[in-house]
Structure 1
Amino acid sequence: MDRVVLYVNPLTFPIAVERRILARLAGRPVALAPGDTDRAIVWSASPEAARAGITVGMPVYQALRCCPDLVLLPPRLALYRRAAAALERILRPFVPVIEPHTLGHAYGDLTGTRKLFGPALDVAARVRREIWGRLGLPVTVGLAGNKVVSEVAAHMLKPEPVVDVRPGEEPAFLAPHPLAALPGADAPVRDQLARYNVARIGALAILTRVQVEGVLGRRGAVLHARANGIDPRPVQPPARREALRAQRTFGAETNDRDVLAAELRALAEQLGRALRARGATADALTLRVRYADHRDAEGAAPLALATDLDVALTAAARRLADRVVARRIALTAVGLVATLGTGHDVQLSLFEPPPPALRRVDLNAAIDRVRRRWGTGSIGYGTGDRGLGNGRPALTIPLSPVPSPRE
């Protein structure tokens, strides 16, 4: 039985959600950018803004030069996650297995459902109608025999709202498209391949696997297979582990380690407060940073003890930074993700005094009480850190399931 994989692609999802709420935004160039400074970075741009030359990752001051009429809005991540959850609820009656991808986007496995729901093309068309009718969000849908081809199909700029790639047609379909359309072919990969005049998926596909591995290393085998339309990954629902996220976009690009340390402490404290408010602990921490050249870096590590303590989260975040922030390029944004554990399952020694971190439980509780009464900035740890937003809340900490990482 041939696999049938569907990919749902809401067009400029966050801005489409904003336009659903604010009708005055229709037809106008719109961009989302966190912060209230012109050094902030564009997070999402409408098609009208893109036609004016605005790109994701562009500083706001530059975007305003390209388009003086640009409407700037702060991102509302909690709102977008609610919209993404509503979209997934619409999919569920038609798609038995759903794997959320990036915000608002999802894979679905329709294999073996023809007798229940009809042909895959009919299902895709109905999904589009339902999402538009109930949410007012425009979407395109890709259909193919695997995840990578369905995703590329859904992102094609074609008048057809549903693109169906039949079995055996995958290499011919992919070949004319630029490498940027191939999932996994990020900017560093494209830069390496450009040295060999490989700019399109078809040019990568006709090379041998050994040749591609010689340029890209082990990941070359995966990208070579994808360029030939081969992707064995199953559609998998995410593990239902929850996470708290805190992030900040810097007001100005910086490579000052003291500034980064202070921001990590502020974000770790915010995560700690959110964990304690829920009566939860974290057993793993993920650090994500964005450089001024728009490249991202990420690292994760388990915590030795599940914790909700500011000092332990801060120490773990700084250890991650020592490993993740390895380039000499300035940073524009930083974020922390705390994966929720199962509780305060800490086993103490009968004969040793409690470790210093555990003795801070009462201190954290006292600080939380002061902040609830007098405000976030009313009390903090004594430190020499020079943060850009010391003690202020970051952009947001919405609670949401952790999606499967993009491969």
Structure 2
Amino acid sequence: MDRQIVCFAIPSLDIALARLTDSSLRTRPLVIAPLNNPRTLLREVSREAEQEGVRVGMPLTLARRLCPSLRVRPPDLPRAETADASLRTVIRRYAPTWEPVHPGAVMMDVTGTTRLFGAACDVAATVQQEIVTRYRLEGVAGVGSNKLVAQTAASLIEPSELCDVRQGSERLFMSPLSVHSLPGIHRPCMRTVLKRLDDLNLRSLGDIAESPLDALEIVLGNYAGQLSRWAQGIDPTPVLPPVSHPSMDETIVLEPDEVDDALLWGRLADSLQRLCRTLRHQRRMCNGLSLTLRYSDHREVTTTARVIPDTCWEIDISGSLQHLFQRAFRRRIRLRLMTLSLTGLNDFAEQGTLFDDRPPGEQTTRNRAQRLALALDRLHERFGEQAIRYGRRR
């Protein structure tokens, strides 16, 4: 059975949402960038701003010089997440398998659903119309026999348009396109590949598809085979549904923004104690740890660590958390938000060992910390969350 893949996306989601809220921005040059730092880089650029020479990744100060009438709006992550969730509620009704690409973009595998919803292009048109009717957001839709062709087709058209690449015409469709039109080709790891292709004057995908594979391997090494397949419109990768990882998290909103290391660590220690207390109450353990810091200029940094063995005790996690905090908090800019997540949750099953390799002093310290944690659990349950809090000695 031939595969039928649909890529549906809302181009520049934050810009579309900003214009949906403020109708005066619909015809104005608009960019999305943090407002607190003049050196920040642009994240999204509207068509009107592009006509003035403004590009994604450009410093905001340079963009203002190129386009004095430029309007700037900060990214709104909660609103984008809400819009993305709304989009997925529509997608689920038509696609048995779907894969999130990025906020506002979804890959759908509608193979075998022809009798239910019609051909893949009909499904794409139906999704487009429903999104416009319900949320007033215009999207693009690319249809193809694989993910690469569908995503490439969606990137070449305007909002509310649909591009259907029929089975067997993949190479013909990809051949005239520039190498730079490939999804993901602008990742840092591909810079050397792009430079070598430019040196060889291989500008189009047709040029690459017609080049002998052994000659490409001499120049591009391990990237040659994959790039040759892409140039011919070949992509066997499946549409992978989102994987649900059991986790527990807590977000700390800092009002006002804060830069004091000791105060921030105290807030994290309080959060860790609450999460571990919940784990013990639910008879669960975790094997992973994640910390996300959002600065006042809206830049986010996420660090992760593995927790071995699985545990629900603060003493086993606090050292890793402190290390993550030191890795993430490298910029001397105030923080606006911190999110602590305990991941890989599973049922409580702590098993003793016949040969404990911990030094006697360390084992004694761990036992005392566990008894203290249980005592604090009882105090918090009886007297409330603010009864006891972490502090520091002067």
TM-score by length of 1: 0.69
CA distance in 1, matches of 2:390, 2:234: 56
Determine the structure 2 residue equivalent to 1:109.
Answer: 109
Determine the structure 1 residue equivalent to 2:195.
Answer: 194
Q: What are the residue-to-residue correspondences of 1:158-197 with 2, within 5 Å?
A: 161-185=161-185, 186-197=187-198
CA distance in 2, matches of 1:166, 1:11: 23
Determine the structure 2 residue equivalent to 1:353.
Answer: 364
Determine the structure 2 residue equivalent to 1:342.
Answer: 345
TM-score by length of 2: 0.71
Determine the structure 2 residue equivalent to 1:42.
Answer: 42
Match of 1:239 among 215, 239, 243: 243
* Partners of 2:140 and 2:159 within 8 A in 1: no
Determine the structure 2 residue equivalent to 1:96.
Answer: 96
What is the RMSD computed on CA atoms of the aligned residues?
Answer: 4.5
* Partners of 2:304 and 2:324 within 8 A in 1: no
Q: Deviations over 1:338-392 (max 9, x none)?
A: 5623168584868823549966969999xx9xxx97xxxx987799xxxxxxxxx
Q: Secondary structure at the match of 2:86?
A: helix
CA distance in 1, matches of 2:158, 2:312: 50
Structure 2 unaligned regions, length at least 5? 253-258, 294-299, 357-362
Q: Deviations over 1:204-259 (max 9, x none)?
A: 32334444444444344333222211111111211112666999xxxxxxxxxxx9
Q: Secondary structure at the match of 1:195?
A: helix
Q: Secondary structure at the match of 1:111?
A: coil
Match of 1:225 among 222, 225, 229: 229
Q: Deviations over 1:295-341 (max 9, x none)?
A: x99986533245685743445537978xxx9xxxxxxx9x9885623
Determine the structure 1 residue equivalent to 2:324.
Answer: 317
Higher relative contact order (CA 8 A, sep 6+): 1
CA distance in 1, matches of 2:322, 2:118: 54
Moved more, 191-200 or 340-349: 340-349
Aligned length: 350
Q: Secondary structure at the match of 2:102?
A: coil
Q: 1:55 to 1:282 in 2, by over 3 A?
A: farther
CA distance in 1, matches of 2:175, 2:267: 44
Instruction: Name the amino acid aligned to 1:86.
Output: S
* Partners of 2:128 and 2:139 within 8 A in 1: yes
Q: Deviations over 1:45-69 (max 9, x none)?
A: 2222222222222222222222222
Q: 1:301 to 1:167 in 2, by over 3 A?
A: farther
CA distance in 2, matches of 1:39, 1:21: 27
Q: Secondary structure at the match of 2:61?
A: helix
Q: 1:297 to 1:20 in 2, by over 3 A?
A: closer
Aligned-pair CA distance for 1:70: 2.0
CA distance in 1, matches of 2:147, 2:85: 21
Q: What are the residue-to-residue correspondences of 1:273-352 with 2, within 5 Å?
A: 283-284=287-288, 301-304=305-308, 305=310, 311-317=318-324, 338=341, 340-342=343-345, 345=348, 347=350, 352=363
Instruction: Name the amino acid aligned to 2:203.
Output: A
Q: 1:357 to 1:93 in 2, by over 3 A?
A: farther
Aligned-pair CA distance for 1:162: 0.7
| Percentage of identical aligned residues | 29
